[in-house]
Amino acid sequence: MIVAFRCDATQGQSDMSQVFQRVGVIGAGAMGRGIAQMVAQAGCQVSIYDSAPAACEAARQGILAQWSRMSSKGKCSADQEQAWGQNLSIAASINDMAGCDLIIEAIVERLDVKREVFAQVEQCVSADCVLATNTSSLSVTAIAATLKHPERVAGYHFFNPVPLMRLVEVIPGLKTNSQVCERLTQLTKDMGHTPVSAQDTPGFIVNHAGRGYGTEALRIISESVSDFATVDRILRDQAGFRLGPFELMDLTALDVSHPVMESVYHQYFEEPRYRPSVITAQRLAGGLLGKKVGEGFYNYADGVVQTPPEADAPTPAMMPPVWVSPKAARRPELYQLLKDLGADIETGQAPSERALILVAPLGMDVTTLAAVERLDPTRVLGIDLLIPDAATRRRVLATNPATRADMRDAAHALFARDGKAVSVIKDSGGFVTQRVLATIVNIASDICQQSICTPQDLDLAVSLGLGYPKGPLAWGDELGPTNILETLFNLQTVYGDPRYRPSPWLRRRGALGLSLKHQEI
């Protein structure tokens, strides 16, 4: 039977109240090192083992140096630094970990090697020792399947760098004893990290919920809607992401991020929502991996990103009057904005022959609206108003294939009059922000539909693990589930792609006017 002990996080001293007394960490690379540090700080005795002996000593030295920096900055006391140091040791072999009550593996991401190492562990540890895997893409159930006691195996997924990324996914395999996860959850809290519970499914929560951002941005540039730097600017300035998707891919490096895109897609048996892009496959093959090699979507000179310059707003000789489609989203706000910008607004039933014509669709493309509303397409542009204008730092306009250059320039100049940044893109059902946000909210909704985690854990995990400005479900609620639904239905119409089909979770909550966080009884 597994007994739940409590752990005193702040003292760094072992005592019998701890949830685990002695912890073995196998694999002393980037992750193992961080995990060992945090477990030692939680007051457990930690021994590190790695098949490359030099890796253990390097990890130990690295952790001691980290504590020394913390101590000199006043982030821990000298007593704590000393106590944590006493908690840390190196194991010469797996057999030296026989007395541990928890083993965490953070070795190479291969099913055969992880199974082999745990089989070795099982031969030396006691019957109630918990085995945790830090795998990010393998099935916990599959890792446990060949062991004598699969009920003591759980996924324990940390994020890099472990001390700074304060989220841990705790994942039961199909046979895992619930007390195993309860104890790992408590240890996570004792480290000062935030635990979330996830079902054993490809990508768990974070690497699953994160599929929408990069893949939709890649689809947008693959359609020549705009260039990657403009898409990054739009998603930073209009949607509030800290990093644009292409900046993020450059930072993560394509040899890490492209295989994850392929892995989740294939593990879900080619689910179109997660479909990767030939763009990253080709760039990976060509070695344009990102910042670490000096060349990715952006170029880097001595590590400094070279951002392509943004064109100034044009200065047209004449400014035409403006007519707004009666079907425009946020129509009263758009009129107020035009008024504030000093536009000559036409209020007739139809535009005059000189007017610039504005549509503001959700998910639909500008071309379709111009055709359906029988508008002169040469004078029609779209504006993305899914997010209220006052909440953004950039406005996004879209032309259609027939738009005249003078109308495009007039619209650009008009919306830049108050100094706000403006991007003009080619026609795209859902512009940039609508497409990306609707995809993110839809995938998050489907994670809840599949009961992979609770809606609360979903938003928590995405905010902490991916650093998005808002949890996807809270974001969907704020923008309006029916607006997200309309965007997705129209995207499906424009592209005919099942990628955009709305999750039943979103459809039902949208239809009933419920919050996306609402969990049925």
Q: Say if CB 14 and CB 45 are below 8 A apart.
A: yes
Strand partners, 299: 295, 306
Q: Exposure string (b/e) for 229-259, b if CB count within 10 Å is 16 or more?
A: bbbbbbbbbbbbbebbbbbbbbebbbebbbe
Active site residue 178: no
Q: Say if CB 173 and CB 149 are below 8 A apart.
A: no
Task: Give Cα 360 distance to the centre of its chain.
Answer: 28
What are the helix (H) ranges across 146-272? Answer: 178-190, 206-209, 211-222, 228-237, 245-252, 254-267
Active site residue 442: no
Catalytic choice (47, 177, 197, 207): 207
Q: How far is the CB of 26 from ligand NAD (least distance, A)?
A: 5
Q: How far is the CB of 362 from ligand NAD (least distance, A)?
A: 36
> Around Cβ 353, how many Cβ atoms within 10 Å?
8
What's 71's DSSP letter?
A: H
Nearer to ligand NAD, 35 or 474 (CB): 35
Q: Among all residues, whose Cβ is closest to ligand NAD?
A: 29
Nearer to ligand NAD, 119 or 371 (CB): 119
Nearer to ligand NAD, 27 or 210 (CB): 27
Q: Say if CB 106 and CB 26 are below 8 A apart.
A: yes
Q: How far is the CB of 180 from ligand NAD (least distance, A)?
A: 19
Q: Say if CB 43 and CB 18 are below 8 A apart.
A: yes
Catalytic choice (136, 139, 226, 257): 136
- Which among 92, 136, 96 is positioned nearest to 114, based on CA atoms? 136
Q: How far is the CB of 255 from ligand NAD (least distance, A)?
A: 12
Q: What are phi and psi of 460, to 5 degrees?
A: -65, -50
Q: Say if CB 242 and CB 469 are below 8 A apart.
A: yes
Catalytic choice (81, 105, 169, 216): 169
Nearer to ligand NAD, 97 or 444 (CB): 97
d(CA 8, CA 20): 11
H/E segment holding residue 70: helix 53-72
Q: Three-class SS of residue 237?
A: helix
Q: Three-class SS of residue 92?
A: coil
Nearer to ligand NAD, 34 or 510 (CB): 34
Using DSSP bridges, classify how beta strands 194-197 and 299-301 pair: parallel, antiparallel or unpaired.
unpaired
Q: How far is the CB of 458 from ligand NAD (least distance, A)?
A: 19
d(CA 36, CA 44): 10
Q: How far is the CB of 220 from ligand NAD (least distance, A)?
A: 26
Q: How far is the CB of 52 from ligand NAD (least distance, A)?
A: 4
Active site residue 157: yes
Q: How far is the CB of 202 from ligand NAD (least distance, A)?
A: 13
Amino acid at 511: A
Nearer to ligand NAD, 144 or 364 (CB): 144
Q: How far is the CB of 161 from ligand NAD (least distance, A)?
A: 8
Q: How far is the CB of 292 from ligand NAD (least distance, A)?
A: 13
d(CA 68, CA 72): 6
Strand partners, 346: 323
What's 354's DSSP letter?
A: T
Nearer to ligand NAD, 289 or 380 (CB): 289
- Which among 80, 90, 72 is positioned nearest to 43, based on CA atoms? 80
Which residues of this chain interact with ligand NAD, rule CB under 6 A? 26-32, 50-52, 55, 106-109, 113, 117, 134-136, 158-160
By CB atoms closer than 10 A (0-12, 13-18, 19+), residue 409 is: middle
By CB atoms closer than 10 A (0-12, 13-18, 19+), residue 24 is: buried
Q: Say if CB 268 and CB 258 are below 8 A apart.
A: no
Nearer to ligand NAD, 117 or 453 (CB): 117
Catalytic choice (14, 157, 412, 490): 157
C-alpha distances out from residue 4 to 16, 72, 150, 178, 510, Å: 10, 35, 19, 12, 42
Active site residue 137: no
By CB atoms closer than 10 A (0-12, 13-18, 19+), residue 455 is: buried
Nearer to ligand NAD, 105 or 232 (CB): 105
Nearer to ligand NAD, 82 or 89 (CB): 89
State the catalytic residues: 136, 157, 169, 207
